[in-house]
Amino acid sequence: MPDRRSRALTLSAKESLILELLVHEKDMYGLQLVAASKRRLKRGTVYVTLGRMEDKGYITSRLEDAPPAAGGLPRRIYQPTPLGRRVLTAWTYAAGRLIPELAR
């Protein structure tokens, strides 16, 4: 695993949206994130983005058994890490200060 201290912390628009949903809503699985994003996230890219965010240390995941009534496979539930929360806070603050029209 690469040393996170030597990398610049970056946050794409999709990553920012995912962190916002996870911080302000609740822990979610991938398709819940797609639904909650109101079409801003796509099924085909959400899992790639989640994997990248997990590599960066912004989120963690755990497997959860599928609900008995639904059957199927276990679900991977995602939650923000303390680092992810700090990056989102810093990004939101910086965007609001540097580009006020984004904060509206």
Q: What angle do CA 80, 84, 103 make, to 5 degrees?
A: 110
Q: What percent of the chain has pLDDT over 90?
A: 62
pLDDT over 90 at 49, yes or no? yes
3-state secondary structure of 88: helix
Q: Is residue 3 part of a domain?
A: no
Q: Where are the beta strands (DSSP E) in the chain?
A: 28-29, 59-64, 75-80
Q: Is residue 58 part of a domain?
A: yes
- The whole model's pTM is what? 0.82
Q: Is residue 25 part of a domain?
A: yes
Token readout for 100 is 């006020």
Tell me, what's the pLDDT at 69?
Answer: 78
- The mean pLDDT value for 3-18 works out to 80
Q: Is residue 18 part of a domain?
A: yes
pLDDT over 80 at 98, yes or no? no
pLDDT over 80 at 94, yes or no? no
Q: List the domain range (segments joined by +) for residue 86.
A: 11-97
Count of the separate structural domains present in the chain = 1
Q: Is residue 32 part of a domain?
A: yes
- Cα separation, 103 vs 63, in Å, equals 35
Look at residues 102, 60, 51 and name the one whose alpha carbon lies nearest to residue 84.
60
Q: Is residue 103 part of a domain?
A: no
CATH number assigned to the domain comprising residue 38: 1.10.10.10
